[in-house]
Amino acid sequence: MNIPSILPFTHTLIEQVAGPGDLVVDATMGNGHDTLFLARLVGSTGKVLAYDVQQEALENTRKRLKEAHCLSQVQLLHKGHETVEEELNCHDQPLSAAMFNLGYLPGSDKTVVTKPETTLTALHTLARYLKPGGLITLVIYSGHAEGKLERDILLAELGQWDQKQYHVLKYQFINQQNNPPFLVAIEKR
Protein backbone atom coordinates (compact mmCIF):
# COMPACT_ATOMS: atom_id res chain seq x y z
CA MET A 1 0.00 0.00 0.00
CA ASN A 2 1.52 3.31 -1.10
CA ILE A 3 -0.93 5.57 0.76
CA PRO A 4 0.02 5.15 4.44
CA SER A 5 -2.73 3.54 6.51
CA ILE A 6 -3.94 5.20 9.71
CA LEU A 7 -1.51 3.81 12.31
CA PRO A 8 1.72 4.04 10.27
CA PHE A 9 0.86 7.61 9.25
CA THR A 10 0.17 8.51 12.89
CA HIS A 11 3.56 7.08 13.91
CA THR A 12 5.36 8.92 11.09
CA LEU A 13 3.93 12.22 12.34
CA ILE A 14 4.84 11.54 15.97
CA GLU A 15 8.39 10.46 15.04
CA GLN A 16 8.94 13.93 13.58
CA VAL A 17 8.31 15.72 16.86
CA ALA A 18 9.28 13.35 19.69
CA GLY A 19 12.88 12.31 20.34
CA PRO A 20 15.36 11.40 23.08
CA GLY A 21 14.77 13.22 26.37
CA ASP A 22 11.29 14.50 25.45
CA LEU A 23 8.14 14.61 27.56
CA VAL A 24 5.15 12.87 25.90
CA VAL A 25 1.72 11.53 26.87
CA ASP A 26 -0.15 8.34 26.01
CA ALA A 27 -3.65 9.45 26.96
CA THR A 28 -5.18 6.00 26.39
CA MET A 29 -2.73 3.28 27.39
CA GLY A 30 -4.91 0.36 26.26
CA ASN A 31 -2.70 -2.63 25.60
CA GLY A 32 0.41 -0.45 25.59
CA HIS A 33 1.36 -0.48 21.91
CA ASP A 34 1.61 3.32 21.69
CA THR A 35 3.14 3.53 25.18
CA LEU A 36 6.00 1.31 24.00
CA PHE A 37 6.30 3.23 20.73
CA LEU A 38 6.61 6.50 22.70
CA ALA A 39 8.97 4.99 25.29
CA ARG A 40 11.37 3.93 22.54
CA LEU A 41 11.22 7.38 20.92
CA VAL A 42 12.04 9.36 24.08
CA GLY A 43 14.56 6.79 25.38
CA SER A 44 15.85 6.40 28.91
CA THR A 45 16.33 10.17 29.35
CA GLY A 46 12.75 10.96 28.35
CA LYS A 47 9.40 10.58 30.09
CA VAL A 48 6.10 9.03 28.99
CA LEU A 49 3.00 9.79 31.09
CA ALA A 50 0.53 6.98 30.33
CA TYR A 51 -3.12 6.98 31.47
CA ASP A 52 -5.87 4.39 31.72
CA VAL A 53 -8.89 3.87 33.97
CA GLN A 54 -8.68 0.06 33.66
CA GLN A 55 -6.32 -1.99 35.83
CA GLU A 56 -6.08 -4.57 33.04
CA ALA A 57 -4.58 -1.95 30.71
CA LEU A 58 -1.88 -1.10 33.24
CA GLU A 59 -0.98 -4.74 33.72
CA ASN A 60 -0.78 -5.47 29.98
CA THR A 61 1.25 -2.33 29.37
CA ARG A 62 3.64 -2.93 32.28
CA LYS A 63 4.33 -6.44 30.95
CA ARG A 64 4.95 -5.16 27.42
CA LEU A 65 7.29 -2.40 28.60
CA LYS A 66 9.21 -4.70 30.94
CA GLU A 67 9.83 -7.24 28.18
CA ALA A 68 11.17 -4.44 25.97
CA HIS A 69 13.32 -2.98 28.80
CA CYS A 70 11.48 0.35 28.50
CA LEU A 71 9.65 0.51 31.82
CA SER A 72 11.95 3.03 33.54
CA GLN A 73 10.98 6.02 31.38
CA VAL A 74 7.22 5.45 31.71
CA GLN A 75 4.90 6.60 34.50
CA LEU A 76 1.85 4.29 34.48
CA LEU A 77 -1.12 6.19 35.86
CA HIS A 78 -4.29 4.38 36.87
CA LYS A 79 -6.68 7.28 36.35
CA GLY A 80 -8.45 9.26 33.65
CA HIS A 81 -6.54 11.44 31.17
CA GLU A 82 -8.68 14.44 32.17
CA THR A 83 -6.40 14.76 35.21
CA VAL A 84 -3.22 15.06 33.08
CA GLU A 85 -2.50 18.55 34.40
CA GLU A 86 -1.59 17.07 37.80
CA GLU A 87 1.48 15.48 36.20
CA LEU A 88 2.26 18.07 33.47
CA ASN A 89 2.33 20.68 36.18
CA CYS A 90 5.29 18.92 37.84
CA HIS A 91 7.54 18.93 34.77
CA ASP A 92 9.53 21.97 33.73
CA GLN A 93 9.73 20.98 30.05
CA PRO A 94 7.02 21.48 27.44
CA LEU A 95 5.09 18.58 25.94
CA SER A 96 6.31 17.27 22.55
CA ALA A 97 3.44 14.93 21.69
CA ALA A 98 0.32 13.21 22.99
CA MET A 99 -1.57 10.25 21.55
CA PHE A 100 -5.19 9.10 21.95
CA ASN A 101 -6.81 5.89 20.76
CA LEU A 102 -10.47 6.47 21.47
CA GLY A 103 -13.12 3.81 22.07
CA TYR A 104 -12.80 0.70 24.24
CA LEU A 105 -9.91 -1.55 25.30
CA PRO A 106 -9.54 -4.20 22.56
CA GLY A 107 -10.28 -7.67 23.92
CA SER A 108 -11.91 -6.33 27.09
CA ASP A 109 -15.15 -4.83 28.45
CA LYS A 110 -16.75 -2.91 25.56
CA THR A 111 -18.95 -0.88 27.90
CA VAL A 112 -15.93 0.98 29.30
CA VAL A 113 -15.34 3.62 26.63
CA THR A 114 -13.73 7.05 26.36
CA LYS A 115 -16.20 9.91 26.82
CA PRO A 116 -16.31 13.21 24.91
CA GLU A 117 -16.34 15.43 28.05
CA THR A 118 -13.20 13.92 29.57
CA THR A 119 -11.50 13.59 26.16
CA LEU A 120 -12.11 17.31 25.56
CA THR A 121 -10.87 18.29 29.04
CA ALA A 122 -7.65 16.34 28.41
CA LEU A 123 -7.29 17.81 24.91
CA HIS A 124 -7.56 21.40 26.16
CA THR A 125 -4.98 20.80 28.89
CA LEU A 126 -2.56 19.00 26.54
CA ALA A 127 -2.88 21.74 23.92
CA ARG A 128 -1.96 24.32 26.55
CA TYR A 129 1.24 22.48 27.56
CA LEU A 130 2.23 21.55 23.98
CA LYS A 131 5.39 23.10 22.53
CA PRO A 132 5.15 24.98 19.19
CA GLY A 133 5.33 22.35 16.46
CA GLY A 134 4.17 19.69 18.95
CA LEU A 135 1.46 17.23 17.98
CA ILE A 136 -1.64 15.58 19.43
CA THR A 137 -3.03 12.60 17.52
CA LEU A 138 -6.48 11.06 18.00
CA VAL A 139 -7.38 7.77 16.35
CA ILE A 140 -11.15 7.82 16.43
CA TYR A 141 -13.21 4.61 16.45
CA SER A 142 -16.90 5.13 15.89
CA GLY A 143 -18.25 1.62 15.39
CA HIS A 144 -20.01 1.73 18.79
CA ALA A 145 -22.94 4.08 19.53
CA GLU A 146 -21.06 6.25 22.06
CA GLY A 147 -18.20 6.42 19.54
CA LYS A 148 -20.40 8.12 16.95
CA LEU A 149 -21.42 10.76 19.48
CA GLU A 150 -17.83 11.28 20.63
CA ARG A 151 -16.67 11.58 17.00
CA ASP A 152 -19.31 14.19 16.20
CA ILE A 153 -18.64 16.26 19.33
CA LEU A 154 -14.87 16.21 18.78
CA LEU A 155 -15.07 17.13 15.09
CA ALA A 156 -17.50 19.98 15.79
CA GLU A 157 -15.18 21.33 18.51
CA LEU A 158 -11.88 20.87 16.66
CA GLY A 159 -13.30 22.43 13.49
CA GLN A 160 -13.60 25.64 15.56
CA TRP A 161 -10.04 25.72 16.91
CA ASP A 162 -8.27 28.91 15.82
CA GLN A 163 -6.31 28.23 12.62
CA LYS A 164 -3.75 30.85 13.69
CA GLN A 165 -2.91 28.68 16.69
CA TYR A 166 -3.45 25.12 15.45
CA HIS A 167 -3.43 23.05 12.28
CA VAL A 168 -6.14 20.38 12.53
CA LEU A 169 -5.88 17.59 9.94
CA LYS A 170 -8.45 14.86 9.30
CA TYR A 171 -6.96 11.77 7.60
CA GLN A 172 -9.67 9.36 6.55
CA PHE A 173 -10.33 6.58 4.04
CA ILE A 174 -13.79 7.45 2.75
CA ASN A 175 -14.79 4.27 0.88
CA GLN A 176 -14.52 1.71 3.70
CA GLN A 177 -17.42 -0.17 5.27
CA ASN A 178 -18.19 -0.55 9.00
CA ASN A 179 -16.92 2.75 10.42
CA PRO A 180 -13.16 2.15 10.25
CA PRO A 181 -10.99 4.36 12.49
CA PHE A 182 -9.68 7.66 11.19
CA LEU A 183 -7.03 10.08 12.39
CA VAL A 184 -7.24 13.66 13.59
CA ALA A 185 -3.84 15.31 14.08
CA ILE A 186 -3.42 18.67 15.83
CA GLU A 187 -0.24 20.73 15.51
CA LYS A 188 0.42 23.79 17.67
CA ARG A 189 1.74 26.66 15.54
Longest dimension (CA), the chain: 45
Q: What is the dihedral of CA 169, 94, 76, 137, to 10 degrees?
A: 0
Least separation in angstroms between CB 53 and a second copy: 28
Least separation in angstroms between CB 166 and a second copy: 7
Least separation in angstroms between CB 17 and a second copy: 5
Contact 35, 9 (CB under 8 A): no
Handedness of CA 88, 89, 90, 93 (dihedral sign): positive
In the complex with a second copy, the residue whose CB is nearer, 1 or 90, is: 1
Binding site for a second copy (CB under 8 A): 1-3, 13, 16-17, 133, 135, 155, 158-163, 166-177, 184-185, 187, 189
In the complex with a second copy, the residue whose CB is nearer, 93 or 176, is: 176
In the complex with a second copy, the residue whose CB is nearer, 9 or 53, is: 9
